[in-house]
């Protein structure tokens, strides 16, 4: 148990950020990664956290988080964690569990209020756009506040998302940045709906590297993406074979019935 989790922060708060480690940062970038299609956000978050050995500096408690325990390598962890890196001047936020609909405003407000105390000026959400099967073409799309669009539009590897709605905690956070003295934007990529998609996370991290020169190594994600691509191809071949067999069997039955 964290020594700072004392009685004054217990109970069932609407939403409350508990800071467990002091870290002075200079207008850091805040990267938000939540469960979505292909869990691309959490995959991207864990890649950054593990690679740069980022420290857990806070967590968020809320009555709107599911009552469940999260284990990482056998160790209990808060389901909504906040990591920091002084070297990178970076904050990464990730969660394994969804926030209930009625708590989105409370959680996003508490998170951004805390971010303001840390000097955050830019907040980016990494998210997946659900598609069926393995995307044939990967592209990073962006949605941003007016002042950020010219910078993002310069990157030929990214494309503006003309219109749409971003829901859930990601959408709530972006909506709340509009009310604060910080810039909010989203980087989105097509991702497999039903299984983890490291290829989608790879695309998002490449975009972050281009924008902020973070030098995140994406080699493992590329390897994982290739493994999944091969498995998806094998599954597609198996399904096609089964359909052909069923079609053939159906044709035989038809001939027998009406011979």
Q: Going residue by residue through the chain (259 aa), what tens digit of pLDDT does each one get?
A: 455 554 455 666 888 999 999 999 999 999 999 988 888 999 999 999 999 999 999 999 999 988 888 887 788 888 899 999 999 999 999 998 889 999 999 999 999 999 999 999 999 999 998 888 777 778 899 999 999 999 999 988 899 988 888 899 999 999 999 999 999 999 999 988 878 888 889 999 999 999 999 999 988 887 866 665 565 555 556 555 554 555 555 544 434 333 3
Q: Is residue 12 situated within a structural domain?
A: yes
- pLDDT at res. 1: 46
Q: Which of 96, 23, 86, 29 shows the shortest CA–CA distance to 53?
A: 86
CATH number of domain containing 95: 3.40.50.10900
Does residue 23 fall inside a structural domain? yes
Predicted local confidence at residue 194, as pLDDT: 76
In a domain, 51, yes or no: yes
- Give the C-alpha separation, 25 to 16, whole Å: 21
64 lies in some domain: yes
The pLDDT value recorded for residue 232 is 54
Give the DSSP letter of residue 162. Answer: -
Domain span including residue 88: 7-219
Asked whether residue 205 is domain-assigned, the answer is yes
**Domain presence at residue 237:** no
Close Cβ partners of 162 (under 8 Å, ≥ 6 residues apart): none
DSSP 142-154: EEE-GGGHHHHHT
**pTM, whole model, 2 decimals?**
0.82
* Residue 43 belongs to a domain: yes
| Chain centroid, CA 174 distance in Å | 14
Overall domain count for the chain: 1
Contact 169, 99 (CB under 8 A): yes
**Total residue length of the chain:** 259
């Amino acid at each position: 148990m964290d020594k700072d989790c004392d009685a004054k922060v217990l109970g069932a708060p609407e939403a409350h950020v508990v800071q467990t480690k002091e870290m002075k940062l200079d207008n850091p970038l805040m990267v938000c990664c939540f469960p979505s299609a292909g869990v691309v956000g959490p995959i991207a978050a864990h890649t950054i956290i593990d690679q740069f050995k980022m420290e857990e500096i806070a967590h968020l408690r809320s009555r709107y988080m599911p009552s469940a325990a999260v284990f990482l390598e056998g160790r209990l962890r808060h389901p909504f964690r906040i990591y920091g890196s002084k070297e990178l001047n970076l904050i990464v936020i990730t969660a394994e569990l969804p926030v209930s609909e009625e708590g989105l405003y409370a959680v996003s407000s508490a998170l951004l209020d805390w971010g303001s105390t840390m000097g955050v000026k830019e907040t980016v959400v990494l998210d997946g756009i659900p598609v069926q099967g393995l995307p044939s073409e990967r592209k990073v799309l962006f949605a941003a506040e007016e002042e950020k669009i010219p910078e993002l539009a310069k990157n030929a590897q990214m494309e503006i998302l003309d219109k749409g709605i971003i829901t859930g905690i990601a959408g709530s956070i972006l909506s709340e940045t509009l009310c604060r003295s910080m810039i909010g934007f989203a980087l989105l990529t097509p991702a497999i709906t039903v299984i983890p998609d490291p290829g989608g996370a790879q695309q998002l991290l490449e975009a972050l590297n281009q924008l902020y020169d973070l030098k995140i190594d994406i080699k493992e994600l590329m390897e994982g993406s290739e493994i999944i691509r091969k498995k998806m191809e094998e599954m597609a071949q198996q399904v096609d074979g089964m359909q052909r067999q069923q079609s053939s069997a159906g044709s035989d039955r038809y001939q027998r019935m009406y011979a």
